[in-house]
Structure 1
Amino acid sequence: MSLIEVAGLVKEFRRPKRIDGPLGALRTLFTRQYVSKRAVDGIDFSVGEGELVGYLGPNGAGKSTTVKMLAGILRPTAGHVEVAGVVPWKERERNARNIGVVFGQRSQLWWDLPLRDSLETMGRLYGVERARYRRSIAHFTEVLMLGAFLDTPVRQLSLGQRMRGDLAAAMLSEPRVLFLDEPTVGLDVVARERMREFIAVQNRAQGTTVVLTTHDLDDVERLCSRIVLIDSGRVLYDGDVEKLKSRYAPHRQLVVQLADGSPWQGVDLPGVECVRGGAGPGSAGPGSVSLRFAPEDARTPEIVAAVLARHTVTDLSIIEPDLEGVIHRIYSESGAA
């Protein structure tokens, strides 16, 4: 069952057309000519209940604009959007009770209040029953490690602490859908890992549907099984992460480090290509040989056994297709990079 439905979604922004010349500023002020910028250009996708989807694209691709329409902050220029049976911009209050939203650089917490008071206020605004509120706060305090700064004013929190507080606030009402717009931007390694773990637990244990926009592809590889890839307001790819890799990076490599003085004698296996060697052009280093083959896990032991049967080897390593490289290739082909 689809919890989010997006069809033909369009968002245009208009600004007054600038007129050059001595009186340009005055004429711009009084003219009714406008220039339109289409940030989202006919996007279609759906998200099933309990999915965790990565919504990816370069800067200016339309990711945040889409999330704001799903959250009811912006009204679409055209098309249809529905979240948990609600049209967000038509029924903002009802939609707000179904969703949680975290924008990486914008806080929903009260700047001068202690984090504890901000969360208390959010709970009352959403009408969270007291026993449920206490259970949630205890859970968030443990999982997100909020205890050390619950009584600290929000303005004194580090970015990582504030982001964890924002995530707790977004989940207080136990929303069916969680929108995360760059939730790990600027965080250190420890804070990023805590955020990822919390998101994964909420998705798996609570069945929360999550739409994640991020530039950190480690977030995607750790959390998402599906991605929607957009550029210039249009969908370039919608599907499984591993299928994306196999489509745009259909090979993996076995890098073999030969023992000193051991010559490369090759391997006689179909579908295995020697792409570089220690003595030839493109060498990875003395005695290093790289074999390229289709990423079929069942074949890897066979290839390793064939190499070891003919050669004296000091090291072996498998290089998997890299999601960042795959996406960069897609954008290069589309003209985005």
Structure 2
Amino acid sequence: MIEVTDIRKTFTVRERTGRLRRRRITVRAVDGISFTVRSGEFVGYLGPNGAGKSTTIKMLTGILTPTSGTVRVAGLDPSRRRTALARRIGVVFGQRTTLWWDLPLRDSLTLIRHLYRVEPSVHRRRLAELVELLDLGPFLATPVRQLSLGQRMRGDLAAALLHDPPLLVLDEPTIGLDVVSKATVRGFLERVNAERGTTILLTTHDLGDIERLCRRVMIIDRGRLAYDGDLEKLRDVAAADRMLVVDLERPGPPVEVAGVTVERVEGPRQWLRVPRGMNAAAVVAALAGRHPVADIALREPDIEEVITRLYREGRITA
């Protein structure tokens, strides 16, 4: 479905060196990446901000042309066959919408039918399926500008899949969503991949998305592909050194739990580092049994920490 061979993308920017002087600097956003994605795969594409994820996505969808290297998506060159490619892929950018801001959601989806020239009978059947799967019925008549972020994201997913593309490209689809909306989006994507065989490429900073949805993970760092492999190998690292944030009913000295390190104390709130291999539930039970706990939350390491650990443990090389 996707074939990428040694693609590079450079940008020229001007940097101020004095009051009136500027110099030209070449920035390598993507620096020699190669990978393939087979039909039906659900792949996570990860990396810190500025690593080159969005640049890669823009080259895959034809928005940007590679400086060098070759890209084939659904058998097409994205930059040269962008219109033809649009009929074979669906794209969702979490911070942007493809819907018409002042139109009801139903009208936006109708206009998208005309853009893709979907037959009316096919559109009705596909729309009914998406409305049921994404629970769009209660707000189909609501103008897009009045939708919540979670509702708009579900509308964008429906718009991206109305023409039944074999490939869905997602750039931060759950950014800013609440827990319930995230669960709805994740469940829908899981079902589309499993039941319809839709190939999905997902970029995200949310490791919860990856844990729930992806079997294969690629990590990009400084424009290069640093890791491409099974999620299980990454999960061993991602699950390490989780942070347990504990709110006690009143301020007190650092709590004591065997094997756990108290990283920081601010009033009644304490940050506890839970090492790899330790059962977090057991730690929580020990805390609750010894201390008056008001609230507790478990935080997974962010992607930057995961990448740093992967380098340090020698699991990936630049």
After TM superposition, the score normalised by the length of structure 2 is 0.77
Match of 1:241?
Answer: 231
Kindly indicate whether the alpha-carbon contact (under 8 Å) linking 1:7 and 1:45 is maintained by their aligned counterparts in 2: yes
The answer to whether 1:222 aligns with 2:199 is no
- Once the 2 structures are TM-superposed, how far is the Cα of residue 239 of structure 1 from its aligned partner? 0.6
- From 89, 103, 110, the equivalent of 1:99 is 89
Matches within 5 A, 1:80-91: 80-91=70-81
Mark the runs of 5 or more structure 1 residues left unpaired by the alignment.
253-275, 294-313, 315-321
- Once the 2 structures are TM-superposed, how far is the Cα of residue 332 of structure 1 from its aligned partner? 4.8
Name the CA distance, whole Å, in 2 between partners of 1:249 and 1:291.
Answer: 11
Offset from partner CA, 1:163-191 (integer Å, 9 cap, x none)? 00000000011111100000000001111
Offset from partner CA, 1:57-76 (integer Å, 9 cap, x none)? 01111111111110111111
Match of 1:270?
Answer: none
> Aligned in 2, Cα 1:57/1:152: closer, same or farther, shift over 3 Å?
same
- Once the 2 structures are TM-superposed, how far is the Cα of residue 7 of structure 1 from its aligned partner? 1.1
Kindly indicate whether the alpha-carbon contact (under 8 Å) linking 1:245 and 1:326 is maintained by their aligned counterparts in 2: no
- Once the 2 structures are TM-superposed, how far is the Cα of residue 334 of structure 1 from its aligned partner? 4.3
Name the CA distance, whole Å, in 2 between partners of 1:194 and 1:46.
Answer: 29
- From 12, 27, 43, the equivalent of 1:14 is 12
- From 5, 12, 23, the equivalent of 2:3 is 5
> Aligned in 2, Cα 1:105/1:330: closer, same or farther, shift over 3 Å?
closer
> Aligned in 2, Cα 1:244/1:124: closer, same or farther, shift over 3 Å?
same
Name the CA distance, whole Å, in 2 between partners of 1:237 and 1:244.
Answer: 9
The answer to whether 1:330 aligns with 2:304 is no
Match of 2:133?
Answer: 143
Name the CA distance, whole Å, in 2 between partners of 1:107 and 1:214.
Answer: 17
DSSP-derived class of the 1:59 partner: coil
Match of 2:116?
Answer: 126
Name the CA distance, whole Å, in 2 between partners of 1:119 and 1:130.
Answer: 12
Name the CA distance, whole Å, in 2 between partners of 1:93 and 1:151.
Answer: 30
Matches within 5 A, 1:168-317: 168-246=158-236, 248=237, 282=259
- Once the 2 structures are TM-superposed, how far is the Cα of residue 131 of structure 1 from its aligned partner? 1.1
Letter in 2 for 1:146: L
Mark the runs of 5 or more structure 2 residues left unpaired by the alignment.
242-255, 263-273, 278-288, 290-298, 313-318
Name the CA distance, whole Å, in 2 between partners of 1:116 and 1:326.
Answer: 37
Match of 2:24?
Answer: 34
After TM superposition, the score normalised by the length of structure 1 is 0.73
Moved >3 Å (runs of 4+):
248-252, 282-285, 290-293, 322-327, 332-335
Match of 1:273?
Answer: none
Match of 1:68?
Answer: 58
The answer to whether 1:44 aligns with 2:34 is yes
Name the CA distance, whole Å, in 2 between partners of 1:12 and 1:292.
Answer: 39
Match of 2:246?
Answer: none
- Once the 2 structures are TM-superposed, how far is the Cα of residue 132 of structure 1 from its aligned partner? 1.1
> Aligned in 2, Cα 1:251/1:200: closer, same or farther, shift over 3 Å?
closer
- Once the 2 structures are TM-superposed, how far is the Cα of residue 245 of structure 1 from its aligned partner? 3.6
Letter in 1 for 2:120: R
- Once the 2 structures are TM-superposed, how far is the Cα of residue 215 of structure 1 from its aligned partner? 0.7
The answer to whether 1:116 aligns with 2:116 is no
Name the CA distance, whole Å, in 1 between partners of 2:178 and 2:88.
Answer: 30
> Aligned in 2, Cα 1:292/1:15: closer, same or farther, shift over 3 Å?
closer
- Once the 2 structures are TM-superposed, how far is the Cα of residue 13 of structure 1 from its aligned partner? 1.4
**Alpha-carbon RMSD:** 2.8
Letter in 2 for 1:125: L
Letter in 1 for 2:214: C
Kindly indicate whether the alpha-carbon contact (under 8 Å) linking 1:227 and 1:240 is maintained by their aligned counterparts in 2: yes
Letter in 2 for 1:5: E
Q: Give me the identity figure in percent.
A: 54
Kindly indicate whether the alpha-carbon contact (under 8 Å) linking 1:245 and 1:323 is maintained by their aligned counterparts in 2: no
Name the CA distance, whole Å, in 2 between partners of 1:100 and 1:324.
Answer: 30
The answer to whether 1:78 aligns with 2:76 is no
Kindly indicate whether the alpha-carbon contact (under 8 Å) linking 1:10 and 1:78 is maintained by their aligned counterparts in 2: yes
Name the CA distance, whole Å, in 2 between partners of 1:291 and 1:283.
Answer: 7
Name the CA distance, whole Å, in 2 between partners of 1:219 and 1:70.
Answer: 21
Name the CA distance, whole Å, in 2 between partners of 1:194 and 1:98.
Answer: 25
Offset from partner CA, 1:242-288 (integer Å, 9 cap, x none)? 12345x58999xxxxxxxxxxxxxxxxxxxxxxx995xxx4689xxx
- Once the 2 structures are TM-superposed, how far is the Cα of residue 14 of structure 1 from its aligned partner? 1.4
